[in-house]
Amino acid sequence: MDLELTGKRAIVTGGSRGIGLAVARALATEGCDVALVARDAGALAAAREAVAAASGRTVIAVSCDTGDDDSVREMAAAVADGLGRADILVNAAARPNPNDEGCGMDDNKWSAALPSRRDLLRAASLDNELYFDSVSQIQMSSWHRGRVVLVGDAAHCASPLSGRGTSLAMTGAWLLAEALRDHPDNVAAAFDQYEREQRPHVSYAQGTAGPGGDLLVPATQQEIDYIQR
């Protein structure tokens, strides 16, 4: 299937290994020139050589810490110099949180980035009387636009009340794969088939998600106390 990506330029963060490297290989195979971005210069060099050799496309390696704004700006400049522009961005960079609190950020970083929100969140976490929760559904008239398509909760979350989120994600992925197989040269037709066949499953699941909200999301302190007895 031709994804019409030949000549496009892609940035893939976390591109030296794992999912990022796999995505970079797939994009290069489809005809993209690729900028591999990661912190480990040695791993980046090896990945760049492998992807370039396998695809014959232009592949550059840019060492960058995506958690540092200045490093990201330098990376963007390097990509502009090496590829000319970027048409596609894939963010696959991540690392485990080394701290137990603050999403890996110490108080100084929180103060510099979000001073008022930090104080609000901290106060909220210490207030025994504050309570907030919600149960929601995702209802969209269409799950695709152009060459972009949504699958799973991003397209049609039925809420925990349905108990069908995983099954909907699996049937959606299966039906999308079948549609792309049936229409290898027509993405629009494939997406239309996917939505046509998946919609009945989603409508049924979302329609069964009514009862039980009061149990999962109690509205009063009395209801919370009753559930926690």
1 confidence band (pLDDT: 50, 70, 90): low
> Whole-prediction pTM value?
0.50
Overall average pLDDT of the 89-117 stretch: 59
Q: Quick one: CATH architecture of 9-91?
A: 3-Layer(aba) Sandwich (3.40)
Residue 117: exposure state from Cβ atoms within 10 A (0-12, 13-18, ≥19): exposed
Average pLDDT taken over every residue of the chain: 83
Q: Are strands 148-149 and 144-145 parallel, antiparallel or unpaired?
A: antiparallel
pLDDT for 94? 64
Higher pLDDT, 94 or 43: 43
172 pLDDT more than 60: yes
- pLDDT, average across residues 158-175: 86
| 63 pLDDT more than 80 | yes
pLDDT tens string 15-54: 998 889 999 999 999 999 999 999 999 999 999 999 999 9
Go through the chain and tell me how many residues it has: 229
> What are the boundaries of each domain within the chain?
9-91, 131-229
For the purposes of burial, counting CB atoms within 10 Å of the CB of 107, is it exposed (0-12), middle (13-18) or buried (19 or more)?
A: exposed
